[in-house]
Amino acid sequence: MASAHVSDPLTALREFVERITPYDPDPAATVGTVGIDHGHESGEFRLTPHLARALVEALASYRDPADRGTCAGCGGRRLDDNLHCQDCGRLHGVLGAVIFERAERISEQAERVQWAAGTDAERPLG
């Protein structure tokens, strides 16, 4: 499994190549090489079109465990475990959306109250 090779990318790549090779429709074709130099060990593998496509798909489908999406408020990518944006403070997820919606309603009500009481010079738009 991938988690067994967290600190050993060379072994992970070697096992990936071994898993992919039996299904390569043109194992003699070569488009280049891919290698890893990992401290005391290094390895280089001949890159067939099939292996190249498999590597690209594997890399493209990888999702970092810390990736919790993009903040709808500021576009930041630093959302914590509670989907709380570390950049602008906005909450996400179902609970975050409910809290955000209620906060907006309370803010709008407060603006209307200020306007009705004449404490704000400008009338809120909308």
SS3 114: helix
CB of 72 to Zn ion, least distance (A): 8
CB under 8 A, 24+ apart: contacts of 20-25 = 20/50, 20/51, 20/54, 21/51, 23/50, 24/48, 24/50, 24/51, 25/50
Q: State which residue, 74 or 116, has the beta carbon closest to Zn ion.
A: 74
Q: To 10 degrees, what angle do helices 9-20 and 49-61 make?
A: 120
**By the rule CB under 5 A, 54 interacts with Zn ion:** no
In the list 41, 87, 101, 104, the residue contacting Zn ion (rule: CB under 5 A) is: 87
CB of 108 to Zn ion, least distance (A): 21
CB of 106 to Zn ion, least distance (A): 20
Neighbours of 39 (CB within 10 A): 8
**By the rule CB under 5 A, 79 interacts with Zn ion:** no
**By the rule CB under 5 A, 71 interacts with Zn ion:** yes
Taking CB under 5 A as the criterion, which residues in 13-52 touch Zn ion? none
Cα–Cα dist 34/43, whole Å: 8
**By the rule CB under 5 A, 88 interacts with Zn ion:** yes
CB of 94 to Zn ion, least distance (A): 17
Cα–Cα dist 91/15, whole Å: 41
Contact residues toward Zn ion (CB under 5 A) are 71, 73-74, 76, 85, 87-88, 90
